[in-house]
Amino acid sequence: MEQTYSRRTTIENGLRVALEQNHFFLVFQPQIHVQTNEIAGVEVLLRYCHPVLGMISPAEFIPLCENNGMIDEVTHWVIKKALNQQNKWIEEGLPRMKMAINISPSTIVNSGFADVLNKFFKESNVFGEFIEFEITEDVFFEYSSQTLQTLNELKNMGIKLALDDFGSGYSSLRQMKELPLHKIKIDKVFIDHVELDRDRAFLDSILDLTKKLESSVVCEGVESKVQVDYLISKGDLIAQGYYYSKPLTSSEFKIWYGRHLQNRVFS
């Protein structure tokens, strides 16, 4: 217990200097239309390289940022960096890439968030239509009329909203119906065993629901050809996972993109 406590304290202390000392960086994971192999966009994922402990998973440090009050500042850093990256890629000859950015529930429902975004958009000259926010079902815990108002404000700015990890958390279908969701990301657990009848039954019914909601769909954690073939048979879905690519640094992504243009084949 002592060890866990000291690791946590070490990370928490490190997080306070991480922004100033460039210990954070972004990686990008492609999202692909399964039927055409065209790129639908990239998901932006945060990385933290601690000077002593090395790489730390966002699954470990993001909850610490949410607890110690740093999450808004960290999220603003991610958004700013992502918008700058868009501009760098354009300068380097890549097309404008849709970017999906993970936003914690407490940040997205913050009433000042839209103003911060407007400022970033003006500064970078990148606007809402190239941005998608991924929110998890935890947003329902913060749910109020203010939540709906803020989400609608973002929608009016052209920002798309995707529900992340769908099916793995607490979902209220009633609230889900009210949210201005553009996309649903189906959690990896529903994709892992598409070869099993029971698992396929779950996946198929989620796909039926998303079709009725007229949301587009991203299947997460796609790792094998068997999974891809199954998804191809289900329509125009988007997939993301190691089968296509691991999350890549900005320069790795540029190389990956160049190769992808030449031969759109994955194996």
Give Cβ neighbours of residue 224 (< 8 Å, ≥ 6 apart).
243
59, interface contact from ligand C2E, Ca ion, none, CB < 5-8 Å by kind: ligand C2E
Q: Is 29 in the site for Ca ion (CB under 5 A)?
A: no
Helix, strand, coil content of the chain in percent (nearest 5): 50, 20, 30
CB-facing half-sphere around the CA of 179: CA atoms within 13 A: 28
102 counts as binding Ca ion under rule CB under 5 A: yes
**Closest distance to ligand C2E from the beta carbon of 151 (Å):** 16
Provide CB contacts within 8 A for 96, sequence distance 6+.
Answer: 86, 90, 126, 130
Q: Which residue is nearest to ligand C2E (CB)?
A: 241
- Sign of the alpha-carbon dihedral angle for 70, 75, 78, 84: negative
Position 59 contacts ligand C2E (CB under 6 A): yes
Establish if 164 lies at the interface with ligand C2E (CB under 6 A). yes
- Ranked by CB distance to Ca ion, the top (closest) residue is 134
If binding is defined by CB under 6 A, does position 14 make contact with ligand C2E?
A: no
Going residue by residue from 61 to 100, which x/- string records binding to ligand C2E, judged by CB under 6 A?
-x---------------x----------------------
70 binds, among Ca ion, ligand C2E, none (CB under 5 to 8 A by kind): none
Can residue 165 be called a binding residue for ligand C2E (CB under 6 A)?
A: yes
CB 240 within 8 A of CB 230: no
Under 8 Å between Cβ of 133 and 163? no
Cα dist. 100→36, 37, 138, 229 in Å?
Answer: 20, 18, 18, 25
Question: Residue 173 is which amino acid?
Answer: L
Distance of closest approach, residue 56 Cβ to Ca ion, in angstroms: 17
223 binds ligand C2E (CB under 6 A): yes
Dihedral sign (CA 44, 32, 210, 198): negative
Residues of this chain that interact with ligand C2E (CB under 6 A) are 29, 45-46, 57-59, 62, 78, 102-104, 134, 164-165, 221-223, 241-242, 247
Q: In the complex, which residues of this chain contact Ca ion (CB under 5 A)?
A: 102, 134, 164-165, 220
